[in-house]
């Protein structure tokens, strides 16, 4: 059984595909659900998702940031402390994935 999750980059020339691209990634829904509950740090995600590699979590968070869904707050301390949270755009994504969840119940 495979755990390969992402399929392929969509054509991205239509809004639905752009939206789908933003959410598609093995840990992105998990990250978004957690961020919907509370702001969190990379370590927090590592603890919550021990199956995921730190590299992937950091990368997928980075993509969410780049897409404007998530924002970082760098506390500029040592040892480093960086907190992630949903942007206002990111908050608008929550009802969308909830609707997906309702549909997913039927699968």
Partner DNA sequence: CAGGATCCAGTGCGATACTG
Partner DNA sequence: CAGTATCGCACTGGATCCTG
Q: Which residues share a beta bridge with 71?
A: 85
CA distance 68 to 89: 7
Residue 30: CB minimum distance to DNA, A: 10
CB atoms within 10 A of CB 52: 17
- Tell me the per-residue interface mask from 58 to 87 with a second copy, x by CB under 8 A, - otherwise: ---------xx-------------------
Q: What radius of gyration, in Å, describes the C-alpha atoms of the chain? A: 14
CA distance 75 to 81: 6
Residue 32: CB minimum distance to a second copy, A: 9
Residue 12 contacts DNA per CB under 7 A: no
Structure letter (DSSP) for residue 22: H
What part of residues 12-51 is at the interface with a second copy (CB under 8 A)? 12, 14-26, 29-30, 33, 51
C-beta of residue 81 within 8 angstroms of C-beta of residue 107: no
Interacting residue ranges for a second copy, rule: CB under 8 A: 2-12, 14-26, 29-30, 33, 51, 67-68, 89, 92-93, 95-107
Interacting residue ranges for DNA, rule: CB under 7 A: 2-9, 25-27, 41-43, 46, 51-62, 72, 74, 79-82
């Amino acid at each position: 059984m495979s755990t390969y999750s992402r399929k392929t980059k969509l054509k991205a020339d239509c809004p639905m595909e752009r939206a789908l691209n933003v959410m598609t990634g093995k840990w992105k829904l998990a990250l978004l659900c957690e961020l919907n509950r509370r702001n969190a740090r990379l370590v927090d995600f590592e603890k919550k998702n021990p199956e995921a590699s730190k590299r992937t979590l950091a990368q997928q968070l980075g993509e969410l940031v780049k897409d404007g869904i998530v924002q970082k707050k760098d506390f500029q301390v040592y040892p480093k402390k960086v907190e992630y949270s949903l942007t206002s755009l990111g908050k608008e994504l929550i009802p969308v994935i909830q609707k997906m969840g309702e549909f997913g119940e039927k699968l």
